[in-house]
Amino acid sequence: MLQTITKHLKRFKHAKRGLSNVIVVMLSLVILVVISANVILWSYQMNQLDWEKMKEDISITNIERIGRSSWFVAQSEYIVNDGSYISGSYTDTQAVDSRYERFTEALATPIYYPNGYTVSYGTYLSGTVPASVQNVDSDYLITRSAVSGTAASYYYPSGYTLGGSTTWVSGSASNLTLNDGVYMTFRSYASQTSSSTFGYTTAGSSYTTVSANQMYGSVFTSPAYSGMTVQSITFRGRGSSGAANVKGVLVRHSDLTIVAVGNPVPISTTVNWYTSTFSSPPSLSTNTEYVIMLIPSASTRFYYVSGSANQGHYDSTNSYTTPTSPTDAAHNNNQYSIYCTFTYPSQYTCEVEFTGTSNAESWTQLVWTIDSSFTTDSVIATFQLYNNQTGSYPTSGDGYLLSTIGTTDVTKTQTITTNPTYFRDASGNWKIKVKGVKDANSQFDFKADWIEFKTAYYNGYTASTEFTFSNMKTNIPTQVNFTVVSEYNITSVSVTIQVWNYSSSAYVNSGEGYLAYMSSGSNETKLLSINTNPQFYTSNGNAKIKVTGVKSTTSQYLQKINQIKLYYKIENRLDMNGGYVIDLSTYPLAHIQTVEIQLRYKASDNGEKWYLKAYNWTRAAYSDFGFNSTTGHTPTTGWDYYVVNLTTSWRSYVWNNGTIYVQFSDQAQDSTSTTIDIDFLGVRVVFDRARFSFKNEGPLTSHLISLWVNNATNHRRYDINLFVNSGENVAYVRLDISLSMENFVVKVVTEKGNVAVFAEH
Amino acid sequence: MARKLRFFHDKRAITPVLSNLLLMVVAVAAMTIATTATYVITTNLRETMGERLIAEDLWFNPSGCISIYILNVGKTSIQVSAVYVNHTKYSFAPTPFTLEISEHGWLNVSCGWVSGNVYHVDIVTKRGYHVADYYKAP
Confidence of residue A388 (pLDDT cuts 50, 70, 90): very high
DSSP-derived letter for residue A578 is E
CA within 13 Å, CB half, B61: 16
pLDDT for A669? 79
User: Around Cβ B110, how many Cβ atoms within 10 Å?
Assistant: 13
Please provide the DSSP assignment of A245-262 as one string.
Answer: EEEEEEEETTTTEEEEEP
Spatial distance between the Cα atoms of A274 and A270, rounded to a whole number of angstroms = 10
Spatial distance between the Cα atoms of A746 and A729, rounded to a whole number of angstroms = 17
| Nearest residue to A279 via CA among A247, A319, A256 | A247
Confidence of residue A431 (pLDDT cuts 50, 70, 90): very high
Confidence of residue B113 (pLDDT cuts 50, 70, 90): very high
Confidence of residue A232 (pLDDT cuts 50, 70, 90): very high
Residues A304 and A218: beta-carbon distance below 8 Å: yes
Q: pTM, whole model, 2 decimals?
A: 0.45
Q: What are phi and psi of A426, to 5 degrees?
A: -60, -25
Do the Cβ atoms of B52 and A49 come within 8 Å? yes
- Compute the mean pLDDT over every residue in chain A, rounded to the nearest whole number: 91
Q: Is the minimum CB–CB distance between A38 and chain B shorter than 8 Å?
A: yes
pLDDT for A64? 84
Q: Is the minimum CB–CB distance between B73 and chain A shorter than 8 Å?
A: yes
Within chain A, how many helices (H) and strands (E) appear?
2, 54
pLDDT for A4? 61
Confidence of residue B3 (pLDDT cuts 50, 70, 90): low
Do the Cβ atoms of B69 and A717 come within 8 Å? yes
pLDDT for A704? 95
Our CA-based measurement puts residue B42 at a distance from the nearest CA of chain A, in whole angstroms, of 6
| Bond into A326 cis (ω within 30) | no
Do the Cβ atoms of A712 and B138 come within 8 Å? yes
Mean pLDDT of A188-202: 93
| Nearest residue to A546 via CA among A484, A465, A462 | A465
Confidence of residue B13 (pLDDT cuts 50, 70, 90): low
pLDDT for B11? 57
- Taking 3-state DSSP, the helix, strand and coil percentages for chain A, each rounded to the nearest 5, stand at 10, 55, 35
Spatial distance between the Cα atoms of A163 and A372, rounded to a whole number of angstroms = 17
Amino acid making up residue A149: G
Spatial distance between the Cα atoms of A495 and A559, rounded to a whole number of angstroms = 10
In A508-627, beta strands by DSSP E: 514-518, 524-530, 543-551, 558-573, 575-581, 594-603, 610-616, 621-623
Q: SS3 letters for A154-183?
A: EECCCEEEEECCCEEEECCHHHHCCCCCCC
A672-to-A175, A574, A603, A664 alpha-carbon distances in Å? 83, 11, 11, 18
Mean pLDDT of A654-680: 91
The model's pLDDT over A499-552, given as tens digits with 9 standing for 90+, comes to: 999 999 999 999 999 999 999 989 999 999 999 999 999 999 999 999 999 998
| Nearest residue to A352 via CA among A169, A154, A153 | A169
Helix (H), strand (E) at residue B16: helix B11-50
Is A197 a residue whose pLDDT tops 80? Answer: yes
Spatial distance between the Cα atoms of A248 and A260, rounded to a whole number of angstroms = 8
Confidence of residue B7 (pLDDT cuts 50, 70, 90): low
Confidence of residue A45 (pLDDT cuts 50, 70, 90): confident
Helix (H), strand (E) at residue B2: helix B2-8
Do the Cβ atoms of B49 and A751 come within 8 Å? no
Spatial distance between the Cα atoms of A699 and A576, rounded to a whole number of angstroms = 57
Spatial distance between the Cα atoms of A31 and A25, rounded to a whole number of angstroms = 10
Find chain B residues with C-beta within 8 A of A23's C-beta. none
Specify the 3-state DSSP secondary structure of B97. Answer: strand
User: Around Cβ A336, how many Cβ atoms within 10 Å?
Assistant: 32
| Nearest residue to B43 via CA among B131, B127, B135 | B127
Find chain B residues with C-beta within 8 A of A749's C-beta. 54, 56, 71
Spatial distance between the Cα atoms of A265 and A263, rounded to a whole number of angstroms = 6
Within chain B, how many helices (H) and strands (E) appear?
2, 9
Confidence of residue A407 (pLDDT cuts 50, 70, 90): very high
Is B4 a residue whose pLDDT tops 70? Answer: no
Please provide the DSSP assignment of A500-511 as one string.
Answer: EETTTTEE--SS
Confidence of residue A110 (pLDDT cuts 50, 70, 90): confident
Q: Name the β-bridge partners of A97.
A: none
Is B10 a residue whose pLDDT tops 70? Answer: no
The model's pLDDT over A69-98, given as tens digits with 9 standing for 90+, comes to: 889 999 999 999 888 889 999 999 999 999
Spatial distance between the Cα atoms of A146 and A77, rounded to a whole number of angstroms = 53
Spatial distance between the Cα atoms of A455 and A460, rounded to a whole number of angstroms = 15
Q: Name residues 662-721 of chain A within 8 A of B (Cβ).
A: 705-706, 708, 710, 712-713, 715, 717
Confidence of residue A5 (pLDDT cuts 50, 70, 90): low
pLDDT for A19? 65
Do the Cβ atoms of B54 and A755 come within 8 Å? yes
Is A683 a residue whose pLDDT tops 80? Answer: yes
Spatial distance between the Cα atoms of A537 and A513, rounded to a whole number of angstroms = 8
Size of interface A-B (CB pairs under 8 A): 65
Chain A interface mutation, best of B26, B28, B33, B38, highest count of A Cβ atoms under 10 Å: B38
The model's pLDDT over A302-359, given as tens digits with 9 standing for 90+, comes to: 999 999 999 999 999 999 999 999 999 999 999 999 999 999 999 999 999 999 999 8
pLDDT for A585? 86
Is A735 a residue whose pLDDT tops 80? Answer: no
Mean pLDDT of A565-578: 88
A409-to-A373, A377, B118 alpha-carbon distances in Å? 5, 11, 132
Q: Is the minimum CB–CB distance between A34 and chain B shorter than 8 Å?
A: yes
pLDDT for A503? 93
What angle (nearest 5°) sits at the alpha carbon of residue A527, between those of residues A523 and A529?
170
Q: Is the minimum CB–CB distance between B46 and chain A shorter than 8 Å?
A: yes
Do the Cβ atoms of B57 and A713 come within 8 Å? no
**Residues 6 or more apart whose Cβ sits within 8 Å of residue A152:** A454, A455, A456
The model's pLDDT over A243-255, given as tens digits with 9 standing for 90+, comes to: 999 999 999 999 9
The ipTM estimated for the assembled molecules is 0.82
A15-to-A12, A19, A543 alpha-carbon distances in Å? 5, 7, 123
Mean pLDDT of A108-134: 91
- Cα of first residue to Cα of last residue in chain B, in angstroms, is 97
Longest C-alpha distance within chain B, in Å?
99
Specify the 3-state DSSP secondary structure of A426. Answer: coil
User: b/e for A271-303, b at 16 or more Cβ within 10 A?
Assistant: eeebbbbbeebbebeeeeebbbbbbbbbebbbb
A715-to-A676, A697, A712, B54, B71 alpha-carbon distances in Å? 54, 27, 8, 17, 15
pLDDT for A2? 53
